């Protein structure tokens, strides 16, 4: 029944304007269609009236085309009202795979540590439009390691779930093939190991250990060091494994071609089978992630609270999770629900990426503006307390936000001596501890700097 | 289409209807007001698909026709005109020209085809109540404050109307407080419906002093308010409303009377210190024979303790949310308020017994506040 209505809707959509369709048909459903008595569920009586008077023929035609007998069409208001005030629908987390039984399945590789953390599973990886491609690839790797996506190159900003996903792949492969040798290692450990074994004269052993692997997972590839010997070793192992159709998985925060220390040969090879990226989750995905994390901890949190966090954290999933756990902890301690905490202002979540880099000039301008001064007034030699104060705030921000050296800061704010700058910064830092107004003002300026 | 009317009258009508014209991206025509002239009757209509406001505008002369015009734009234009300017609105194709004295403008209208048809009350099946607008307004203002804005529990976002023993009651709750009011005594029909709080708010906004009587008609899924030249039609909330009478406490072993102004004052004082603490909690305490006090602490600012002298029969303590108590006291009308509470736990529900507020000498309105555990 449901599908028939979906099809009918698809047909109706073609016939009427998009605005009309999305307004009038959005929350409709086919409730029954027995003996030609069709009943369609709608949101409220306004919809009944409109559908009856303007769209009856369209609906009828669409239903008949989809093989439904239509004698009469009635409308009914559905109890399941989707309230229109809630801004967006929150998609339930899609989950795939099954729960990993504990670590037991690692038998057969007893004296071999995989480096995997069994808490990372596909089960608790929330799939959304930001990562579904990568997950689809991951699933195909789990089914047939070493065939389709080899090497599997995964990239994306920090905190978006790269490590989680590749560890989950490792865990799932181990579950399906307990006899496989799977190794997860951050590239830095790889080097440490390599250097270590070379020093101990066990270089051969090292390369054998890697060459006997079935699945090699390298994390944080962007940290690869520019040491010819080490890169060459990695390159050799890579080639060796790849030729014998062993699965290689590499993560990085950017594409290999953008990593300066990687030579072109290596970069090409890494993306042979394509590069998959994890993106910043969309609002709905963020809600789903939060919901799933909250469910995991068994804590109660209102949808509005989740939406609030999702809306205000725009950096990465790690921040999202840390905000959630802070709020849950606070709600536990204070005995308020998360939403109440947010509403009474106890919690103020804002994580915005610092997308646009700022400039010294911009900082000085914004500070001046915030203190109702002109930039030249701020840069003047005036010792009026108000202006001096503004100047010191500018010094502080230049140092905090841009990490400029003190002589450079002195130049930017028009003072002669870098020790004046040191003094100014120290003064503001001290004032910040006590002066709430100043704290707010600086926070506000910061907001404007990156706006 | 053509109408001629005083700017002042038209402006008033437009202000009434244009509030709910929403900027819904998917259906831009909902931004517009529908101006309909049929056999000398002029109606201005807007809708947001949950409700519709119709204003029947008396005009000096008119010609039949329909058009829709951006509501807010038209309302602002007309309201800027001098009050007594004779305004003429006429359409040519989809151009709407407005002329008043030396001011004139042309607004691009849209044909009325896309404007939704409005559901109508089936008069035959309708349950109709009439009452004075003043009573209605007072009752609604007393009740609506307790309604919730949590759309996860749709029923609570409305104001519930129900009949019991020939009395029409209206009630609202957000789960932390309940406000219940006897609206009309001795009614013949029976109903049990929930009207969205937003609709009630629009009705309240539309009420002006000239309107004496309000007529409320209910269908199964629709309600219509008629007041003066305005008609408001709205959906009802289709969700089970909790049985409020379960919340109303029966055993209250502590009871006291207090002057409302005085109560309001000490609650405000206490709330100053409760604002920053967890949950705005204030603690009300009775001490025999003659003390009722409210106490609050804000760790960073200090604390407050204010007292009223009144006869009390038993020592007791209850903690409640200051804002809720303030809300309640602000809408209550009696000079003396009766407060009842209890330290015991309800035997059936095993919950703390809530505080109950009434106007002295009248059972028409009760307000219930759930205690907070501290």
From the list A19, A44, A53, which residue is nearest B26 (CB)? A19
Q: Give chain A's length.
A: 451
B300 at the A interface (CB within 8 A)?
no
Inter-chain touch A81–B117, beta carbons under 8 Å: no
Q: What percentage of chain A reaches a pLDDT higher than 90?
A: 3
CB B112 within 8 A of CB B67: yes
Of A67-76, A132-141, A389-398, give the range with the top mean pLDDT. Answer: A389-398
pLDDT band (50, 70, 90) for residue A297: confident
Give A86 or A348, the one with higher predicted confidence: A348
Whether pLDDT at A377 is above 80: yes
Min Cα separation A341/chain B (Å): 9
pLDDT at B67: 94
Query: Which two structure tokens, joined as six digits, stand for A414?
Result: 């028009």
Q: What percentage of chain A reaches a pLDDT higher than 70?
A: 88
d(CA A281, CA A351): 14
pLDDT at B70: 92
pLDDT band (50, 70, 90) for residue A273: confident
Average pLDDT over residues A346-360: 65
pLDDT band (50, 70, 90) for residue B198: very high
pLDDT band (50, 70, 90) for residue A92: very low
Q: What percentage of chain B reaches a pLDDT higher than 70?
A: 95
Instruction: Please name the residues between 330 and 369 in chain B that touch chain A, using a CB distance below 8 Å.
Output: none
d(CA A226, CA A249): 21
Closest CA to A229 of A189, A201, A194: A194
Give the mean pLDDT of chain B. 89
From the list B24, B50, B150, which residue is nearest A44 (CB)? B50
- Is ipTM strictly over 0.90? no
B26 at the A interface (CB within 8 A)?
yes
What is the value of pTM for the model shown?
0.55
Spell out where A349-412 has E strands: none
pLDDT band (50, 70, 90) for residue A80: low
pLDDT at B226: 95
Min Cα separation A430/chain B (Å): 21
Neighbours of B222 (CB within 10 A): 25
Name which of B49, B111, B241 to mutate to probe chain A: the one with the most chain A Cβ atoms within 10 A of its Cβ. Answer: B49
Average pLDDT over residues B116-140: 92
Inter-chain touch B278–A22, beta carbons under 8 Å: no
Could you say which DSSP state residue A86 is in? S
Min Cα separation B220/chain A (Å): 10
Whether pLDDT at B277 is above 70: no
Closest CA to B73 of B109, B127, B121: B109
Name which of B20, B23, B27, B175 to mutate to probe chain A: the one with the most chain A Cβ atoms within 10 A of its Cβ. Answer: B27
| B49 contacts on A by Cβ (under 8 Å) | 23, 43-44, 46-47, 84
| A336 contacts on B by Cβ (under 8 Å) | 278-279
Query: Which two structure tokens, joined as six digits, stand for A315?
Result: 């950096």
Residue A319 neighbours by CB under 8 Å, 6+ apart: A159, A313, A351
- Lowest-pLDDT range of A67-81, A96-110, A273-287: A96-110
Inter-chain touch A45–B117, beta carbons under 8 Å: no
d(CA B346, CA A390): 61
Query: Which two structure tokens, joined as six digits, stand for A432?
Result: 């910040």
Inter-chain touch B278–A86, beta carbons under 8 Å: no
Give B279 or A284, the one with higher predicted confidence: A284
| B114 contacts on A by Cβ (under 8 Å) | 19-20
Min Cα separation A272/chain B (Å): 44
Inter-chain touch A45–B150, beta carbons under 8 Å: no
pLDDT band (50, 70, 90) for residue B135: very high
Min Cα separation B22/chain A (Å): 13
B122 at the A interface (CB within 8 A)?
no
Residue A172 neighbours by CB under 8 Å, 6+ apart: A97, A100, A121, A122, A142
| B280 contacts on A by Cβ (under 8 Å) | 344
């Amino acid at each position: 029944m449901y599908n028939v209505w979906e099809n009918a809707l698809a047909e109706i959509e073609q016939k009427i304007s998009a605005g009309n369709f999305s307004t009038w048909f959005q929350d409709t459903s086919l409730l029954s269609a027995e003996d030609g008595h069709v009943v369609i569920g709608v949101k409220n009586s306004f919809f009944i009236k409109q559908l009856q008077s303007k769209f009856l023929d369209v609906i009828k035609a669409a239903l008949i085309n989809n093989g439904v007998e239509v004698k009469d069409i009635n409308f009914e208001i559905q109890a399941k009202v989707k309230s229109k005030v809630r801004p967006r629908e929150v998609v339930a987390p899609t989950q795939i795979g099954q729960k990993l039984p504990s670590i037991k399945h690692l038998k057969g590789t007893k004296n071999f540590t995989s480096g995997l953390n069994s808490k990372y599973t596909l089960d608790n990886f929330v799939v959304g439009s930001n990562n579904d491609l990568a997950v689809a690839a991951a699933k195909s790797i789990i089914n047939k390691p070493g065939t389709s996506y080899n090497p599997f190159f995964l990239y994306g900003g920090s905190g978006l779930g790269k490590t989680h996903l590749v560890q989950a792949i490792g865990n799932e492969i181990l579950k399906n093939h307990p006899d496989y040798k799977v190794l997860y290692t951050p590239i830095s450990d790889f080097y440490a190991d390599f250097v270590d074994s070379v020093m101990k004269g066990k270089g051969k052993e090292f390369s054998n250990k890697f060459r006997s692997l079935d699945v090699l997972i390298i994390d944080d590839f962007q940290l690869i060091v520019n040491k010819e010997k080490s890169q060459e070793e990695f390159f050799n192992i890579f080639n060796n494994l790849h030729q014998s159709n062993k699965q290689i998985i590499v993560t990085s925060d950017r594409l290999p071609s953008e990593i300066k220390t990687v030579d072109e040969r290596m970069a090409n090879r890494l993306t042979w089978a394509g590069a998959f990226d994890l993106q910043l989750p969309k609002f709905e995905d963020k809600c789903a992630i939060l919901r799933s994390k909250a469910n995991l901890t068994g804590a109660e949190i209102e949808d509005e609270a989740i939406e609030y966090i999702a809306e205000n954290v725009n950096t990465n999933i790690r921040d999202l999770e840390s905000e959630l756990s802070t709020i849950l902890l606070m709600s536990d301690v204070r005995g308020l629900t998360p939403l109440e905490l947010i509403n009474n202002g106890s919690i103020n979540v804002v994580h915005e990426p610092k997308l646009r880099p700022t400039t010294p000039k911009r900082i000085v301008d914004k500070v001046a503006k915030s203190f109702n001064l002109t930039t030249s007034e701020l840069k003047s030699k005036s010792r009026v307390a108000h202006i001096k104060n503004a100047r010191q705030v500018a010094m502080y921000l230049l140092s905090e936000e841009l990490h400029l050296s003190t002589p450079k800061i002195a130049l930017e704010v028009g003072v002669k001596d870098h020790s004046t700058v040191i003094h100014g910064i120290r003064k503001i830092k001290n004032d910040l501890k006590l002066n709430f107004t100043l704290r707010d003002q600086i926070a506000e300026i910061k907001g404007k700097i990156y706006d | 289409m053509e109408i001629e009317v005083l700017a002042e009258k038209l402006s008033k009508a437009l202000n009434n209807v244009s509030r709910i014209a929403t900027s819904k991206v998917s259906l831009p025509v909902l931004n517009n007001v529908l101006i309909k002239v049929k056999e000398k009757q002029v109606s201005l209509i807007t809708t947001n698909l949950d409700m519709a406001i119709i204003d029947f505008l008396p005009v000096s002369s008119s010609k039949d026709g329909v058009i829709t015009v951006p509501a807010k734009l038209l309302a602002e234009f007309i309201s800027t005109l001098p009050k007594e300017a004779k305004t003429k609105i006429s359409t040519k194709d989809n151009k709407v020209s407005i002329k008043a004295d030396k001011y004139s403008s042309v607004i691009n209208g849209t044909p009325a085809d896309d404007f939704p048809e409005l559901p109508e009350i089936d008069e035959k099946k309708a349950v109709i109540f009439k009452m004075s607008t003043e009573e209605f307004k007072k009752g609604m203002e007393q009740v609506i404050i307790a309604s919730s804005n949590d759309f996860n529990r749709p029923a609570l976002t409305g104001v519930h109307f129900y009949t019991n023993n020939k009395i029409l009651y209206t009630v609202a709750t957000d789960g932390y407080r309940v406000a219940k009011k006897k609206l009309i005594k001795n009614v013949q029909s029976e109903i049990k419906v929930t009207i969205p709080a937003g609709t009630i708010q629009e009705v309240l906004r539309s009420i002006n002093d000239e309107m004496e009587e309000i007529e409320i008609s209910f269908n199964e899924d629709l309600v219509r308010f008629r007041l003066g030249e305005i008609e408001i039609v709205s959906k009802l909330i289709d969700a089970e409303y909790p049985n409020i009478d379960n919340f109303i406490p029966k055993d209250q072993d502590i009871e006291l009377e207090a002057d409302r102004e005085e109560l309001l004052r000490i609650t405000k004082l206490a709330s100053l210190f409760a604002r920053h603490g967890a949950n705005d909690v204030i603690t009300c305490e009775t001490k025999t024979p003659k003390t009722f006090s409210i106490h609050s602490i804000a760790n960073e600012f200090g604390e407050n303790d204010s007292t009223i002298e009144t006869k009390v029969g038993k020592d007791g303590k209850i903690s409640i949310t200051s804002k809720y108590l303030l809300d309640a006291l602000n809408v209550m009308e009696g000079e003396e308020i009766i407060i009842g509470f209890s330290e015991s736990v309800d035997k059936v529900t095993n919950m703390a017994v809530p505080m109950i507020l009434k106007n002295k000498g009248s059972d028409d309105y009760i307000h219930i506040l759930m205690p907070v555990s501290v």
